[in-house]
């Protein structure tokens, strides 16, 4: 079993966010004999699911439906595929940004002269 403080640390979410998710019915957290939240394996999996769905850009109402309406399986798969495509596009964009930042850092650390003369120079460099 896991306390809310431990769950917050483990999940990267604040305790307030975890309480909010519970209040909104997105996660169900058992309580111990003293009434304190005690995250079991099921609750930890729910937190992980909600966190991943939020990172994928799904609104809370959609997440709630995904978690409580399994009979809409085909609709859910279509929705998740659409959001997956967006995540892939976001990753490609972030990868390009990371490549550019790495190039600029290397350029600065190596004291390379001047600014990039042309965008093609960076594109050529990032392809290597």
Dihedral, CA atoms, 105, 107, 110, 115, nearest 10 degrees?
Answer: -140
Residue 126's Cβ-count burial label (10 Å; 0-12, 13-18, 19+) is middle
The yes or no reply on domain 1-68 and CATH 1.10.287.70 is no
- Structure tokens, 47: 């937190």
Percent of the chain with pLDDT strictly greater than 90 = 60
pLDDT digits (tens, 9 = 90+) for 116-126: 545 566 566 56
Across the range 43-62, mean pLDDT stands at 93
Q: Give the start-to-end residue ranges of the domains of the chain.
A: 1-68, 72-128
Flag whether pLDDT at 113 surpasses 90. no
More confident residue, 27 or 70: 27
The model carries a pTM of 0.72
Q: Which of 60, 68, 69, 50 is nearest to 12 (CA)?
A: 50
Average pLDDT rounded to a whole number, residues 28-57: 93
């Amino acid at each position: 079993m896991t306390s809310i403080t431990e769950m917050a640390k483990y999940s990267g979410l604040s305790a307030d966010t975890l309480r909010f998710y519970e209040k909104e019915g997105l996660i169900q957290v058992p309580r111990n004999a003293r009434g304190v939240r005690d995250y079991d394996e099921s609750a930890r999996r729910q937190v992980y699911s909600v966190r991943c769905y939020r990172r994928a850009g799904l609104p809370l109402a959609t997440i709630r439906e995904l978690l409580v309406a399994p009979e809409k399986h085909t609709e859910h798969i279509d929705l998740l595929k659409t959001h997956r495509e967006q995540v892939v596009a976001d990753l490609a964009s972030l990868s390009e940004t990371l490549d550019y930042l790495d190039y600029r850092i290397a350029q600065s650390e190596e004291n390379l002269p001047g600014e990039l003369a042309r965008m093609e120079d960076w594109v050529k460099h990032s392809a290597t």
